[in-house]
Amino acid sequence: MTIRPLVILPDKTLRLPSEPVTKFDGALKTLVADMFETMYDAPGIGLAAVQIGVLQRVITIDTAKKEEDPKEPLVIINPEIIWSSHETSTYEEGCLSIPEYYEEVERPKSIRFTYQDIKGEKYEVLADGLLATCVQHEIDHLNGKLFIDHISKLKRDRCVKKFTKQAQRGTAPLSGANA
Ligand code: NI
């Protein structure tokens, strides 16, 4: 397992759509193992493959709160949201690709989604609370979308400007540096 460099805003890779996984092979296993290693190291509760520069529809999640809690690793491949609740909930979200930036985001409180596991087996689950928010945040990544797309344009522009300046100063990885 390897900790891979994270792709950081404003790297344009984050805006690209990811491709469905068709081969459930050893390379996929390695990718998933590396994603968990990278996510736990950061630390984060969710990671999409695009955040380590791999444009495949692969997500790792672990919403176990405290460090002493048992790990609850979840691998979600080729997810599709098939139902969203009208009821919404608001969480303060952050993103490993937008380090140390947090804003409140409102999303459907519950979702039903299908996905495949690492062997390619299909599942359908109902999620709510933090897991529902996290899955929606990560599926956004697979579609080139970021949580800052859900906040006001004024705040988003300010955030992008800040990270663009940081990248120019070299205090954050430059665009393409993680490729
Ligand atoms: Ni994120």
Catalytic residue positions?
A: 138
Residue type, 12: K
Per-residue confidence (pLDDT) for residue 158, from 0 to 100? 97
127 or 68, which is more confident? 127
- Domains of the chain with CATH codes: 12-166 (3.90.45.10)
| Cβ burial, residue 69 (10 Å; 0-12/13-18/19+) | exposed
Per-residue confidence (pLDDT) for residue 173, from 0 to 100? 54
How much is the pTM?
0.93
Distance from the alpha carbon of residue 51 to the mean position of ligand 1, in angstroms: 8
End-to-end CA distance of the chain: 18
Distance from the alpha carbon of residue 134 to the mean position of ligand 1, in angstroms: 9
Per-residue confidence (pLDDT) for residue 170, from 0 to 100? 81
Q: What residues flank ion ligand 1 with Cβ within 5 A?
A: 95
Distance from the alpha carbon of residue 1 to the mean position of ligand 1, in angstroms: 21
Let me know: does 89 contact 109? Beta carbons within 8 Å.
yes
pLDDT tens digit string along 89-128?
999 999 999 999 999 999 999 999 999 999 999 999 999 9
Per the DSSP assignment, residues forming a β-bridge with 53 are: none
Distance from the alpha carbon of residue 154 to the mean position of ligand 1, in angstroms: 20
